[in-house]
Amino acid sequence: MFENLSDKLQRAFKNITGKGKISEDNIQEALKEIRVALLEADVNFKVVKKFVNEVKAEALGTEVTDGLNPGQQLVKVVHEKLIEILGGRSPEIKFKGKPPYVIMMVGLQGSGKTTSSGKLARLLGEEEFNPYLVPCDVYRPAAKEQLITVAGQVEMPVFDSREIEKPLEIVRRAMKEARNIGRDVVIVDTAGRLHIDMALMDELKELKEYLEPDEILFVADAMTGQDAVTSAKAFHDALDITGVILTKMDGDARGGAALSIKKVTERPLKFIGTGEKLDAFERFHPDRMASRILGMGDVLSLIETVQKKVDQDEAQRLQEKMLKNQFTLDDFSKSLNQISKMGDLGSLMGLIPGMGKMKQQIDAQAESKQMKKMQAIISSMTMEERNNHAILNQSRKSRIAKGSGTSVNEINTMLNQFMQMRKMMSMMSKPGKLGKLTQMFS
């Protein structure tokens, strides 16, 4: 998702030359490229115009921040503006009053409404809610059957509406049933049409009036680009929707709908569907998405992964030793172990700032093998050696090489890397040295 746009924006920033302050001269070309990149991504042209104007005004008006060159300053402004057009703060599902809460799913036929109802039930189910699915499309029996199938797959109960003919009657009885069986979130999968028509809107309005839903989520197919935005607007005008779900973001959607929908409807994108499988569904975080688009990585998703997989006490202990410059080979081995627990290095790297590009160049499998080799070398050492690598002499290195199935050369390389790492860490821990370190990477 967003790959093309991401590539083009990053290229635009690369060409900015010069040092010091941003000027019209040094960003003019980049702004032009940003404009083209957004238009090619099928972003609404009014949104693009406003975006580029605002970026320009803000970039020219910013104070020079210490250590940032004009290219980096522009990235900073574009990042902030991207977050803004993607919706600003991460939106939440808002439930008011007492349960059962109601979420009405609306949208055109084929947009992914039924699938997303099931996905949403699954997601909320994981968050301690007890969702209840209600099929409310009385025109297409296949639609009800499909929801029943989806509900089975996500192991959520579904109201049996098969014998009932009126949508209003279905929701009336379904709400009663939800209370009886103790379900606290009712997800109503309403009827869709191929095109927007008044009869459908009237039916939806009637349901809305009765249900007083906490959320009305408009489901749209991201692959339809600006058509998705146009129909979102029409549904919003009729029903005052509370949010949008964009499906099929895994397809070759260029991102235009995601980048336009908030500005056009004034309603946030709340979830995205990223595949046909029922777990391919995420809450939408504007800041994370903006960072991903700009190749700055998705640090928060990385942290979430790390928090789930890594022993926090151990990590804290290792960090303290690093800062005190007491980090030993034994600690090094333990941190390698933590890293390998986090899973596939390749996908993790995509989440690290600046690593998105490198991900394609680095052979993650070879890296994992290398890490295993380092661990093998360290585990062939005595504890005394692990805690003080300086005592390793030539004959011990030969023994360790034999024991770990490596060579003395490989041992020396690893020791060099380890010592370099320690040097870097001690630089980081000294006040005022961080600047020097960042210079090394710029």
Residue 114 engages ligand GDP in binding (rule: CB under 6 A):
yes
Using CB under 6 A as the binding rule, whether residue 135 contacts ligand GDP is answered as no
Report CA 316 to chain centroid distance, whole Å.
26
Which residue reads 């990149």 in tokens?
A: 37
d(C-alpha 306, C-alpha 299), whole Å: 10
Q: What is the token pair recorded at 363?
A: 């052979």
Residue 250 marked as a ligand binder? yes
Q: How far is the CB of 106 from ligand GDP (least distance, A)?
A: 10
Compose the 279-298 pattern: x for residues touching ligand GDP by CB under 6 A, - for all others: -x------------------
Q: What's the closest the beta carbon of residue 220 comes to ligand GDP, in angstroms?
A: 9
Q: CA dist 58 to 24, 77, 171, 322, 437, Å?
A: 12, 7, 50, 40, 29
**Sole binder of ligand GDP in the list 44, 69, 247, 380 (CB under 6 A):** 247
Q: Does 335 bind ligand GDP (CB under 6 A)?
A: no
3-state secondary structure of 214: coil
| Shorter beta-carbon distance to ligand GDP: residue 99 or 275 | 275
Rounded least distance, CB 191 to ligand GDP, Å:
9
Sheet strands side by side (includes 243-247):
131-135, 185-189, 101-107, 215-221, 243-247, 269-273, 281-283
Please tell me whether 6 is known to bind a ligand.
Answer: no
Judged by CB under 6 A, the residue of 8, 251, 264, 421 near ligand GDP is 251
Is residue 109 near ligand GDP by the rule CB under 6 A?
A: yes
Question: For residue 144, which amino acid is it?
Answer: K
Is the torsion defined by CA of 433, 437, 440, 442 positive or negative? negative
Give the shortest CB-248-to-ligand GDP separation in angstroms: 4
Helix axes 70-86, 24-40, angle to 10 degrees: 40
Q: Does the footprint of ligand GDP cover residue 255 (CB under 6 A)? A: no
Give SS3 for 273: strand
Dihedral angle sign, alpha carbons of residues 358, 364, 368, 374: negative
Instruction: Output the CA angle 88-225-350, nearest 5 degrees.
Output: 60
Q: Which stretch binds ligand GDP (CB under 6 A): 93-101, 111-119, 300-308, 380-388?
A: 111-119
Could you say which residues in the range 162-201 bind ligand GDP, by CB under 6 A? 192
Site residues (CB under 6 A) for ligand GDP?
A: 107, 109-115, 146, 192, 247-248, 250-251, 273-276, 280
Summarize the annotated binding site for GTP as residue ranges. 107-114, 189-193, 247-250
